[in-house]
Homo-oligomer: A and B are copies of this chain.
């Protein structure tokens, strides 16, 4: 399959340095962080970045791939948990815990997604859908909420706390809990608009 021979030792090391440097830089400055800054942080020349990732988008995609795959893995694990409601909440907690905001804003921003990232995204959506279905079947969340709803609301907690210049690092937990209470069956009022379909 992959006829490419393994990377040279220094190249592999630099690739790893770049990935972690880019991840932290994107987390701090958003996706607008410059490639030059990332290279400097990794202690590497700018050309090296483009040797490993022909485009800035490719670099972002490489990070997004990791994050989505990890999160999807957590979700698939949670599908086997006993308490379906707690499982959904745990998934949303995991989603917020890592810098998930980066990922989804990229999924939205990118004009055309690489095929494999697209596939990963759909796999993640399917996991969310299943988690929501199970939670609904257990009566843990209201009937009129869909997987698409949860996928959209997923990173609202991170987004919301982003408005504060010096937010406590765990403040998102408060808004995740608040939003999750809105998903519960108790005190639910009918929703005024039909749910969207994703992609």
A189 touches B181 (CB 8 A): yes
Stretch at the interface among A35-43, A56-64, A66-74, A160-168: A160-168
Q: Which residues of B contact A184 (CB under 8 A)?
A: 187, 189
Chain A 169-180 per-residue mask, 1 if CB under 8 angstroms from chain B, else 0 = 011011101111
The reply to whether the CB of A108 lies closer than 8 angstroms to some CB of chain B is: yes
The reply to whether the CB of A76 lies closer than 8 angstroms to some CB of chain B is: no
A160 touches B153 (CB 8 A): yes
A152 to B168, CA, bound (A): 14
A187 touches B187 (CB 8 A): yes
Tell me the nearest residue of chain B to A159, going by C-beta. Answer: B159
Q: Which residues of B contact A164 (CB under 8 A)?
A: 152, 196, 198
A192 to B160, CA, bound (A): 16
A178 touches B149 (CB 8 A): yes
B153 touches A177 (CB 8 A): no
Tell me the nearest residue of chain B to A189, going by C-beta. Answer: B181
With both chains docked as a complex, state the minimum distance between the C-beta of A131 and any C-beta of chain B, in angstroms. 17
The reply to whether the CB of A80 lies closer than 8 angstroms to some CB of chain B is: no
A interface residues (Cβ-Cβ under 8 A, vs B) = 104, 107-108, 145, 149, 152-153, 156, 159-165, 167-168, 170-171, 173-175, 177-189, 191-196, 198
